[in-house]
Amino acid sequence: MNNSLIKSFLFFLIIPILSFSQSKERTGLNYGFQLGWNSPGKQEAQLYNCNKSSNVDLNYILTGNTTNYTKLQEFYNDDFTLYELPQNIKYKSTLTIGGTLQYYTSQTFAVFFNAIYESPSITNSNFSIKLNSKKGNLSNEVIQQGVISGKESRLNFELGLHKSFENESIYHPFFDIAFVGSLLEMKSHEISIGNLKQSVLHYSQNNTNTTFSRFGYGTSCTLGVQFPINDFILYTGVSLTAIHYGIFDNPVSIAKGIDMKFLL
């Protein structure tokens, strides 16, 4: 778990200093909103590494395109070759926000529907070129760094079951399990090196636009505690979500999150 997730978890531990009240009757339809901090699985980040498996060839963009090659050649006053592609691209942890409908058939059991939005971007995205004028041993090589940036949006829909467990404490543990449908859409994909900054969305190997939307499906589970605060209920928990998008033949992508839901 990274530092951002840990900080969010510590924030949730502070919440109990707020004033509590007894939980009101919740049987029937309830609505609310939720916030969270999510660490997406890294499999889909391969969309942005600009190797041939991602349907975008960085070598062609830099050296096969005459305009780009000439622009960088004049900037560095040298010929060059692609030296290294990005390694181990991942997503940055990101904020999630959404709404919820929760229908309680009893005080401890409910059916819920969540709609949650997030906009992850990538990290660990450096690539490099090697200038050609200096040959020989490694100490004479001149390496220049570039950056690939990428961002997408994801809209997740969750239909699931909620079960809480009453005890003598005001804190009630709960367990959620849900079916998840997810719409992933690439929003931006750019390279930046030297005096060149360019979108690479249209540089696919088959000359078609690589911007796309992909629907995925999977399951999620959440463990946490719930407690009343004034006239609403606060749910805090940790979640795991496994989604299959069918990209690069990866079976599933595992996301880890910390969730906070307010039921009004």
Task: For the chain, report the end-to-end CA distance as a whole number of angstroms.
Answer: 30
Burial grade of 251 (CB within 10 A; 0-12, 13-18, 19 or more): exposed
The pair of three-digit structure tokens given for residue 212, joined into one six-digit string: 């796309």
Q: Residue 11's pLDDT is what?
A: 53
Q: Report the pLDDT value the prediction gives residue 18, as an integer from 0 to 100.
A: 45
Res 98 pLDDT > 70: yes
Cα–Cα nearest to 219, from 195, 242, 192, 193:
242
Q: What's the pLDDT tens digit per position in 43-60?
A: 899 888 888 766 788 998
Of 148 and 251, more confident: 148
Q: What is the pTM of this model?
A: 0.84
What is d(CA 262, CA 34) in angstroms, rounded to the nearest whole number?
6
Q: Residue 250: pLDDT above 80?
A: no
Q: What fold characterizes domain 3-43+95-123+152-263?
A: Porin (2.40.160)
Q: What is the pLDDT of residues 118-143, one digit of tens each?
A: 999 999 899 999 998 765 555 567 89
Predicted confidence (pLDDT) at residue 151 exceeds the cutoff of 90: yes
* Whether pLDDT at 19 is above 50: no
Amino acid at residue number 158 = E
Each residue of 156-169: pLDDT tens digit?
999 999 999 988 88
